[in-house]
Amino acid sequence: QQQVKQSPQSLIVQKGGISIINCAYENTAFDYFPWYQQFPGKGPALLIAIRPDVSEKKEGRFTISFNKSAKQFSLHIMDSQPGDSATYLCALENFNKFYFGSGTKLNVKP
């Protein structure tokens, strides 16, 4: 049973552009929504996270938008840079059990 659906599977953005990655979920029992960044050959690293009582959280160039009624949350990367090229994983958490999306491979063209 897939708890979270992530899209798109891959994304190509020009340097300086905005990258947008979306995740949708069904079960409302989740109470923590982190995004992880993963480079090839490395483990996922926490990028930014949000709780459902907040609709938006911004950290530098990274912003999470959360729509509780639509059961969707998204990651926006402003002024995308080639160094942002990586796989991005959204996740849902409930009592320490994490469910991950299938990942979005972002390629930022110079």
Q: By CB under 8 A, name the one of 16, 28, 31, 55 that touches other proteins.
A: 31
Q: Report the alpha-carbon distance of residue 98 to residue 77 in Å, rounded.
A: 23
Enumerate the β-bridge partners of residue 97. Answer: 94
Number of shown-chain residues binding other proteins (CB under 8 A): 25
Q: Which is nearer to other proteins, 100 or 107 (CB)?
A: 100
Under rule CB under 8 A, residue 68 binds other proteins:
no
Torsion of CA 99, 49, 47, 72, to 10 degrees: 60
Residue 51 in contact with other proteins, rule: CB under 8 A = yes
Q: Which stretch binds other proteins (CB under 8 A): 14-22, 53-61, 68-76, 96-104?
A: 96-104
* Ranges of H-type helices in 15-107: none
